[in-house]
Amino acid sequence: MTEKEITFTVNGTERELRVEPRKLLVHAIREDLDLTGTHIGCDTGNCGACTVYKDGEAVKSCLQFAPQADGSEITTVEGMEDLPEAGMGESDLHPVQEGFHEMHGLQCGFCTPGMMLAGKALLEEHDDPSETEIRQNISGNLCRCTGYQNIVKSIEYAADVLAGREPPESPVENPSSGVEATADGGEPDGGRTDGGRPLDLTREYPRGDGDE
């Protein structure tokens, strides 16, 4: 098997690699370039964790061979902070990254890089996408925590920042917004008496017959 020499620009830096033709782009990015922010989830093209931004569009890097990236320009999650749009919001982050931070768009974080690059691709085309458009756009990205609600809000937040609109206030407690809130995204102590308190493992919790 002849190895192939490929040259491509990844996050603004030209990189040269020698790869077996059968090496997937996602493996070249993770293993050869050590950019492990791009994740491998399902291995079948379903989950979208391996989504990268390539030559102006979002693609799944597990569905192409590395030599197919020869001559291309790729942005991975590690490069988002260096894009021209970065810093347009409150922080130095890319507005999409800031959106995920502010709106609590992640739980375990595994799907986050793919979700963010899918979101970036959408916002290149629409500066004011509807909720339906956002949901359609991330239909190729699975979140195993099923945290879709806040992922949608995060992309809406980024759309506001990119279009120069005032983004919504973060519902979650974090230092950059200064807004107090409970960890579940609700209002501070809104109807709950244990909001924000550390979990007491010795406490006996009441047993309801519902699905609590």
Residues that bind other proteins (CB under 8 A): 1-2, 4, 20-24, 43-45, 48, 51, 57-60, 62-65, 67-68, 118, 121-122, 132, 135-137, 139-141
Query: Minimum Å distance from CB 111 to other proteins?
Result: 13
Cβ proximity to other proteins: between 43 and 169 the closer is: 43
Give the residue with the Cβ less far from other proteins, 42 or 163: 42
* Smallest distance from other proteins to CB 150, Å: 19
User: Which tokens hold the place of 60?
Assistant: 């799944």
Instruction: Choose between 23 and 94: whose C-beta lies nearer to other proteins.
Output: 23
CB of residue 59 vs other proteins: minimum separation in angstroms?
A: 5
Question: Could you tell me the smallest distance in angstroms from the CB atom of residue 102 to other proteins?
Answer: 24
Q: Please state the closest distance from residue 27 (CB atom) to other proteins, in A.
A: 8
Q: How far is the CB of 131 from other proteins (least distance, A)?
A: 12
Answer for the pair 43, 30: CB distance below 8 angstroms, yes or no: no
> What b/e readout covers 152-174, taking b as 16+ CB neighbours within 10 angstroms?
bbbbbbbbbbbeeeebeebbbbe
Q: Return the number of the residue (25 or 181) whose C-beta is nearest other proteins.
A: 25
12 or 21: CB nearest other proteins: 21
Q: Which residues contact 68 (CB under 8 A, 6 or more apart)?
A: 25
Half-sphere exposure of 127 (CA within 13 A, CB side): 7
**DSSP secondary structure code for residue 65 in this structure:** B
Which positions ≥6 away from 118 have C-beta within 8 Å?
48, 51, 58, 137, 138, 140, 141
Contacts of 20 (CB under 8 A, 6+ apart): 1, 3, 4
3 or 184: CB nearest other proteins: 3
CB 103 within 8 A of CB 181: no
Helix (H, G, I), strand (E, B) or coil at 205: coil
